[in-house]
């Protein structure tokens, strides 16, 4: 009998699939639920299954802690800056890759992609050394620049896929009706390609909010963003602090997820990695 | 030519922030110490050479710390990628072919880690899987002994699988979406059972996304910091953690940079394969 | 023997019947077409026969034995799909050999059979090529070869020609028919193209909204469509609503004596070639004054738009005959079908002696 005999029986196949998905779901969700429990625990000693004392004691503490509010401020200054800067730098290139023929196109395309093929921490260290030289360590712009690297591929490839999905016939029809090339771009091409651009911007924004390794290396000691703060919180403070902080840090992601779910399902996510 | 002009800004960023520092680091690791770069020039135990030397690498490979770190890094990278594929492929298949509510749940579920910052994911894994964590408490009520995987090699692997699932499943299932139903039905019609359809049709037709998942994840795990820092043992360490320590706390930038060069060499093959398969996948 | 029987087969989608109590008998060696508009249940029926779908009710039998519960991989049927049907990562040899390898034939035997079947579909020496290098028509020939090479008892064709251009479609359908004759293989052909079905089939099953409308040979189907749907779907048909009262049928401008028929509302259905637009004619049920509104040249014949009373009718005329736009021209009716409700009630034919025969 073959190893996969269960695949041939629909009921068994279903049962195997069901248990696999349930096990996987537990693996993904249980850690997050643990965090949720901790966030509302005033006291929880092992081996109790649930906290002995529920409460909001630590929430007040966190919201009054200036280190943490400062970290939130840095996070929400850096993420939009990185997103906008990346958009300004990459979107024209995305359009060019989608619509123009030019020398070395393929080579440049591959080169851009190759930035993904570096083991990240080694690269950050090399950059850190360079930033020492240019006094960018511990500065806002130093952090913005190092985070920019990880956005190049996302901000070029996803919008490029969006731009090339715009039928040329539509652009030609608009030209035919008397619109100038610039008008065509803003009235026809951009609106149709917008989902791709939005998905790219969301991914870049989230990526910047979540970035910890490079930010720690370049930003410390002046620029401590929320995820970097997490490194020091863990171990130095009781569990509820880390848990509450985690929830606060996940909220922007979840809000964006809900706002953007219309675009996220449309297949652009995968396009960004291809 | 307008196209070339529009493409220049990201390329410029690439040269300035990737290529130039990488080359500088390579030169530094070969003994060319740039006097005008305080981060490099003020390091301890510098090897200084005007003609270039492999002294730094010799010392590195002679160190037992480094070789056990490298061995750990390679082990964790391979095991993480293998496990990731083993978990992600069934999910991708289920996302593509599954019917009903369960498939709908699975299709949303696997995206979850994408929206949880890595630091938080690792922290959540500690609170659940760690010593005196929730899992231990739950298993304790039914009398199953539990030994924590956190601060072990297995902890790093666990973290990377958790974090890596969305990308892997997304990539694989989007590849599977591109395979026509007719093609699969034709195979079944010819007498192929589910197993044969998987090995002879699905797998070969979806090989490029699989390669992308494997190479991209390998590079990611190899150069990771947060996951091993939070979930791994204090010794031996993954190269990323060791690099950061050498660069910062130990003030040995040359060793750190040499490790970076070594890790790039180890990832070069995966990197080349990644770039090749990605551009190939894009073309078709 | 490979006779196929659909027995009271039903299939529901979201509570609605996609196929509704289908009863169909396909004889061994017969070429049968399932014909109808999209959503009529023809593809669903084919897929139930192939084993990709299970019926919700009824039975499907092959050579007298039920095939329900057997997956597509074990049924002795082979299918040619509409498109994307070849395995893109295998060359032509491996595509065609796929099923033979699964049946664990020896390598030499596989090579021989693949070579023979490629010869049969007219594409020898294509073994090394990949599907992407083939034209649409060639791909479908290979798909046919792949289906035939496993020597199935039943060949299933799911609109295999619909993605090809018109000329190729005609050529390939002739070839498929020739190969089918040569092999004598029972064949079920799904199409929405009535001309295609008429050209190749031994019998045609016309379906609409999951219900079998008529199951007949092409000439019978064309001459006497059993339902109003079939009448409209097969060929062109002029439909004039009217009624029978007091032994007379009145529809539009036409008035025909029908002494034996009871009074009721009817629809008069007339083929464009059963009308003649001329000054005078010998054989006719009835003639009315008519006006020519337009002419469309269709190559070997022309289509006239003719107005009579309130009705606009289509009339086919030979290429040579120049219809007169004269005001006294008349429209002559040679043959007509009468439908009561949806069903065919009777056929009216003008007899040589000017008498009307009511069948």
Interface mutation vs chain A, best among B6, B199, B250, B280, most A CBs within 10 Å: B6
Rounded distance between C-alpha atoms, residue C40 and residue C208, angstroms: 5
CB of C263 within 8 A of CB of C246?
yes
B185 touches chain C (CB under 8 A): yes
Task: List Cα–Cα distances, A223 to A144, A186, B179, in angstroms.
Answer: 11, 38, 47
User: Residue B192 domain-assigned?
Assistant: yes
Q: In this model, does residue A209 exceed pLDDT 80? A: yes
Interface mutation vs chain B, best among C83, C88, C190, most B CBs within 10 Å: C88
Q: Which two tokens stand for residue B129?
A: 């899987």
A25-29, B95-99, C103-107: range with lowest mean pLDDT: B95-99
* Domain CATH code at residue B88: 1.10.3720.10
Q: In this model, does residue A255 exceed pLDDT 80? A: yes
Q: What are phi and psi of C100, to 5 degrees?
A: -65, -40
Q: Where are the beta strands (DSSP E) in A135-190?
A: none
Rounded distance between C-alpha atoms, residue A245 and residue A227, angstroms: 9
The residue whose two tokens read 């930010």 is A215
C86 touches chain B (CB under 8 A): yes
Closest CA to C191 of C313, C295, C332, C45: C45
| Domain range list for chain A | 2-58, 66-271
DSSP letter (8 states) at residue C227: B
Among candidates C72, C86, C89 on the partner chain, residue whose Cβ is nearest the Cβ of B189: C72
Closest CA to A157 of B13, B282, B166, B273: B282
Contacts of B74 (CB under 8 A, 6+ apart): B266
The residue whose two tokens read 């370049």 is A218
User: Residue B75 domain-assigned?
Assistant: yes
User: Residue B59 domain-assigned?
Assistant: yes
What number of CA atoms fall less than 13 Å from residue B37's CA on the CB side? Answer: 21
Answer whether C84 sits within 8 Å of B204, measured CB to CB.
no
Answer whether C85 sits within 8 Å of B188, measured CB to CB.
no
Sheet-wide strand order for C291-297:
C291-297, C301-308, C311-318
Answer whether C87 sits within 8 Å of B192, measured CB to CB.
no
Compute how many other C-beta atoms are within 10 angstroms of the C-beta atom of residue C72.
22
User: Residue B73 domain-assigned?
Assistant: yes
Return the CA Rg of chain C. Answer: 25
Answer whether A243 sits within 8 Å of B127, measured CB to CB.
yes
Rounded distance between C-alpha atoms, residue C213 and residue C23, angstroms: 11
C50 touches chain B (CB under 8 A): yes
| A259 or C173, greater pLDDT | C173
Average pLDDT for chain B: 90
The complex's ipTM works out to 0.88
The residue whose two tokens read 């029809």 is A173
DSSP letter (8 states) at residue C355: P
Answer whether A212 sits within 8 Å of B118, measured CB to CB.
yes
- What's CA A131's distance to the chain center, in Å? 24
Among candidates B94, B121, B263 on the partner chain, residue whose Cβ is nearest the Cβ of A122: B263
> What pLDDT, in 10s, does the model give residues B211-253?
999 999 999 999 999 999 999 998 899 999 999 999 888 889 9
Exposure string for A67-76, b = 16+ CB within 10 A, e = fewer: ebeebbebbe
Closest CA to B281 of A270, A115, C92: A270
Identify the pLDDT of residue B132. Answer: 86
Answer whether B205 sits within 8 Å of C88, measured CB to CB.
yes
User: Residue B198 domain-assigned?
Assistant: yes
Return the H-helix or E-strand segment holding C32.
strand C31-35
Identify the pLDDT of residue B284. Answer: 44
Using CA coordinates, name the residue in chain A closest to B222: A119
Among candidates A46, A110, A273 on the partner chain, residue whose Cβ is nearest the Cβ of B167: A273
Using CA coordinates, name the residue in chain B closest to A5: B195
> What pLDDT, in 10s, does the model give residues B21-47?
999 999 999 999 888 888 888 888 888
A45-59, A69-83, B6-20, B169-183: range with lowest mean pLDDT: A45-59
CB of B172 within 8 A of CB of B281?
no
Closest CA to C312 of C303, C299, C322: C303
**Chain B residues touching C72 at Cβ < 8 A:** 185, 188-189
Rounded distance between C-alpha atoms, residue B45 and residue B42, angstroms: 10
Using CA coordinates, name the residue in chain A closest to B13: A149
Q: What are phi and psi of C316, to 5 degrees?
A: -95, 135
For residue A40, give how far its alpha carbon lies from the nearest alpha carbon of chain B (Å): 14
Q: What is the pLDDT along chain C (359 residues), one digit of tens a residue?
A: 789 999 999 999 988 899 999 999 999 999 999 999 998 999 999 999 999 999 999 999 999 999 998 888 889 999 999 887 899 999 999 999 999 999 999 999 999 999 999 999 999 999 999 999 999 999 999 999 999 999 999 999 999 998 888 888 999 999 999 999 999 999 999 999 999 999 999 999 999 999 999 999 999 999 999 999 999 999 999 999 999 998 889 888 888 888 888 889 999 999 999 888 877 666 667 778 888 888 888 888 888 888 887 888 898 888 766 655 555 677 888 889 999 988 999 888 877 655 555 55
Answer whether A28 sits within 8 Å of B216, measured CB to CB.
no
CB of A226 within 8 A of CB of A209?
yes
Return the H-helix or E-strand segment holding C88.
none
Task: Say what the pTM is.
Answer: 0.85
Compute how many other C-beta atoms are within 10 angstroms of the C-beta atom of residue C252.
18
Q: A269 pLDDT band (50/70/90 cuts)?
A: low
CB of B234 within 8 A of CB of B212?
no
Percent of chain A with pLDDT over 70: 92
Return the H-helix or E-strand segment holding B253.
helix B253-283
Q: In this model, does residue B283 exceed pLDDT 80? A: no
A135 Rama sector, left if φ>0, alpha if ψ -120 to 50, beta otherwise: left
Answer whether B186 sits within 8 Å of C73, measured CB to CB.
no
Rounded distance between C-alpha atoms, residue C147 and residue C77, angstroms: 8
User: Residue B138 domain-assigned?
Assistant: yes
Identify the pLDDT of residue A250. Answer: 85
Average pLDDT for chain A: 86
CB of C191 within 8 A of CB of C35?
yes
B177 touches chain C (CB under 8 A): no
Structural domain containing residue B215: 55-283
**Please, what is the Cα angle at B236 between B232 and B242, to 5 degrees?**
85
User: Residue B188 domain-assigned?
Assistant: yes
Compute how many other C-beta atoms are within 10 angstroms of the C-beta atom of residue C355.
10
Q: B118-129 and B153-177 are packed helices; what angle lies between their axes, rounded to 10 degrees? A: 120
Q: How many beta-carbon pairs under 8 angstroms link A with B?
A: 312
Rounded distance between C-alpha atoms, residue C6 and residue C205, angstroms: 12
Q: Which two tokens stand for residue C200?
A: 């190749």
CB of B178 within 8 A of CB of C65?
no
Q: Where are the beta strands (DSSP E) in chain A?
A: 41-43, 53-54
Answer whether A127 sits within 8 Å of B90, measured CB to CB.
no
Identify the pLDDT of residue A91. Answer: 94
Which chains neighbour B (Cβ–Cβ under 8 Å, 3 or more pairs)? Answer: A, C
Return the H-helix or E-strand segment holding B49.
none
Q: In this model, does residue A78 exceed pLDDT 70? A: yes
Start-to-end C-alpha separation, chain C? 38
Tally of domains in chain B: 1
Q: What are phi and psi of A193, to 5 degrees?
A: -85, -5
Rounded distance between C-alpha atoms, residue C62 and residue C39, angstroms: 25
User: Residue B21 domain-assigned?
Assistant: no
**Chain A residues touching B128 at Cβ < 8 A:** 30-31, 34
Rounded distance between C-alpha atoms, residue B266 and residue B261, angstroms: 9
Percent of chain A with pLDDT over 90: 29
Strand-strand pairing, C16-26 and C31-35: unpaired
For domain A66-271, give the CATH number.
1.10.3720.10
Answer whether A250 sits within 8 Å of B120, measured CB to CB.
yes
């Amino acid at each position: 009998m073959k190893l996969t005999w269960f695949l041939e029986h629909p009921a068994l196949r279903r049962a195997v699939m069901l248990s696999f998905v349930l096990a996987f779901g537990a693996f993904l969700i249980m850690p997050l639920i643990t965090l949720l429990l901790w966030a509302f625990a005033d006291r929880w000693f092992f081996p109790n299954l649930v906290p002995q004392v529920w409460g909001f004691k630590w929430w007040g503490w966190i919201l009054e802690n200036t280190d943490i509010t400062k970290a939130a401020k840095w996070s929400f200054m850096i993420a939009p800056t990185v997103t906008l800067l990346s958009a300004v730098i990459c979107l024209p290139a995305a359009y060019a890759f989608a619509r123009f023929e030019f020398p070395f196109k393929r080579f440049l395309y591959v080169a851009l992609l190759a930035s993904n093929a570096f083991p990240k921490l080694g690269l950050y260290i090399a950059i850190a050394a360079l930033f020492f030289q240019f006094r960018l360590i511990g500065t806002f712009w130093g952090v913005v620049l190092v985070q920019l690297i990880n956005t190049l591929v996302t901000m070029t490839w996803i919008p490029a896929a969006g731009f090339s999905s715009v039928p040329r016939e539509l652009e030609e029809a608009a030209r035919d009706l008397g619109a100038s090339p610039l008008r065509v771009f803003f009235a026809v091409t951009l609106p149709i390609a917008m989902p791709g651009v939005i998905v790219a911007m969301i991914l870049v924004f989230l990526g910047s909010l979540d970035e910890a390794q490079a930010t720690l290396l370049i930003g410390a000691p002046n620029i401590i963003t929320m995820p970097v703060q997490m490194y020091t919180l863990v171990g130095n403070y009781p569990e509820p602090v880390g848990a509450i902080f985690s929830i606060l840090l996940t909220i922007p992601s979840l809000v964006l997820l809900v706002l953007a779910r219309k675009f996220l399902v449309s297949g652009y996510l995968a396009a960004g990695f291809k | 030519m307008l196209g070339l002009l529009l493409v220049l800004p990201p390329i410029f960023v690439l040269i300035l922030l990737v290529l130039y520092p990488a080359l500088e680091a390579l030169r530094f690791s070969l003994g060319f110490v740039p006097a005008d770069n305080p981060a490099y020039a003020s390091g301890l135990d510098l090897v200084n050479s005007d003609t270039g030397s492999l002294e730094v690498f010799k010392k590195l490979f002679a160190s037992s710390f480094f070789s056990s770190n490298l061995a750990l890094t390679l082990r964790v990278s391979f095991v993480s990628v293998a496990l990731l594929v083993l978990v992600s492929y069934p999910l991708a298949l289920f996302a593509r072919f599954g019917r009903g509510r369960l498939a709908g749940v699975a299709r949303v579920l696997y995206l979850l880690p994408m929206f949880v910052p890595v630091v938080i994911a690792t922290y959540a894994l500690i609170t659940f899987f760690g010593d005196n964590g929730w899992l231990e408490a739950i298993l304790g009520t039914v009398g199953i002994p539990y030994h924590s995987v956190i601060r072990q090699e297995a902890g790093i692997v666990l973290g990377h699988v958790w974090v890596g699932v969305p990308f892997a499943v997304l990539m694989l299932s989007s590849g599977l979406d591109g395979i026509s139903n007719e093609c699969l039905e034709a195979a079944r019609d010819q007498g192929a059972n589910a197993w044969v359809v998987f090995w002879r049709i699905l797998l070969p037709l979806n090989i490029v996304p699989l390669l992308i998942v494997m190479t991209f994840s390998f590079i990611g795990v190899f150069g990771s910091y947060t996951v091993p820092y939070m979930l791994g043992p204090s010794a031996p360490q993954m190269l990323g953690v060791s690099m950061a320590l050498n660069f910062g706390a130990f003030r040995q930038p040359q060793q750190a940079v040499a490790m970076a060069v070594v890790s790039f060499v180890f990832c070069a093959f995966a990197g080349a394969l990644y770039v090749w398969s990605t551009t190939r996948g894009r073309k078709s | 023997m490979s006779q196929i029987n659909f027995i009271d087969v039903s299939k529901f989608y979201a509570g609605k019947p996609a196929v509704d109590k289908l009863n169909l008998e396909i004889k061994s060696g017969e070429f049968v077409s399932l014909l109808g508009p999209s959503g009529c249940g023809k593809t669903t029926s084919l897929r139930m026969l192939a084993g990709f779908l299970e019926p919700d009710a009824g039975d499907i039998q092959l050579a007298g034995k039920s095939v329900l519960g057997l997956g597509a991989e074990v049924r002795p049927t082979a299918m040619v799909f509409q498109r994307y049907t070849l395995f893109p990562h295998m060359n032509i040899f491996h595509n065609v050999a796929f099923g033979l390898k699964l049946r664990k034939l020896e390598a030499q035997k596989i090579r021989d059979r693949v070579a023979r079947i490629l010869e049969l579909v007219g594409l020898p020496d294509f073994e090394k090529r990949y599907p992407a290098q083939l034209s649409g028509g060639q791909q479908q020939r290979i798909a046919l070869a792949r289906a035939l090479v496993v020597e199935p008892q039943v060949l299933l064709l799911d609109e295999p020609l619909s993605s090809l251009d018109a000329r190729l479609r005609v050529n390939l359908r002739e070839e498929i028919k020739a190969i089918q004759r040569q092999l004598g293989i029972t064949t079920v052909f799904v199409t929405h193209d009535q001309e295609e079905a008429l050209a190749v089939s031994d019998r045609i099953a016309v379906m609409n909204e999951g219900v079998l409308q008529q199951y007949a040979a092409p000439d019978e189907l064309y001459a006497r469509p059993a339902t109003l749907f079939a009448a409209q779907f097969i060929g062109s048909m002029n439909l004039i609503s009217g009624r029978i009262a007091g032994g007379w049928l009145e529809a539009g401008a036409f008035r025909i004596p029908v002494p034996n028929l009871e009074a009721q509302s009817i629809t008069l259905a007339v083929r464009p070639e059963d009308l003649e637009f001329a000054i005078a004619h010998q054989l006719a049920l009835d003639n009315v004054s008519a006006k020519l509104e337009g002419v469309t040249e269709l190559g070997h014949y022309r289509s006239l738009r003719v107005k009579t009373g309130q009705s606009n009718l289509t009339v086919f005329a030979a290429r040579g005959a120049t219809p007169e736009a004269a005001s006294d021209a008349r429209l002559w009716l040679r043959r007509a079908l009468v439908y009561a409700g949806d069903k065919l009630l009777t056929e009216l034919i003008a007899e040589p002696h000017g008498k009307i025969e009511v069948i």
